[in-house]
Amino acid sequence: MAWIYLLVAGLFEVVWAIGLKYTEGWTRLWPSVGTLAAMVVSFWCLSQSLKSIPIGTGYAIWTGIGAVGAAALGIVLFGDSASWPRLLCIGLIVAGVIGLKIVS
């Protein structure tokens, strides 16, 4: 169950990271409310997962999911660069997350 909490926490990290863009500096009410709610869910799920997953592993995987998800959605939603060096670096993050899961 801890790994499911960690996955959900990472997915909600992606939601709030993308939500930050839509808050326009916390000047838009509903995007700000949604972003704050996603932050609460993300941190709560992370805290539940860390009851049985080592902090280094859990935190690295949580941030990895968030980084890869935000980068991917940035490419799709906002036209961020999809150059091969950038995609290679994103792939390295994915490899690191998979590696941490395998050794944990």
Each residue of 1-37: pLDDT tens digit? 999 999 999 999 999 999 999 999 999 999 999 999 9
Is the model's pTM score more than 0.95?
A: no
pLDDT of residue 6: 97
Maximum pairwise Cα distance, the chain: 43
Average pLDDT over residues 74-97: 95
CA separation for the pair 77, 14 (Å, rounded) = 13
pLDDT at 76: 97
| Token pair recorded at residue 54 | 């080592």
Which helix (H) or strand (E) segment holds residue 72: the answer is helix 55-78
pLDDT of 92: 95
DSSP letter for each residue of 14-42:
HHHHHHHHHHTTTTSHHHHHHHHHHHHHH
Residue 42: closest CA among 72, 73, 69: 69
Is 48 a residue whose pLDDT tops 90?
Answer: yes
The pair of three-digit structure tokens given for residue 20, joined into one six-digit string: 């930050």
Structure tokens, 35: 């972003």
Task: Read off the pLDDT band of 101 (50, 70, 90).
Answer: confident
Cβ–Cβ < 8 Å for 2, 51: yes
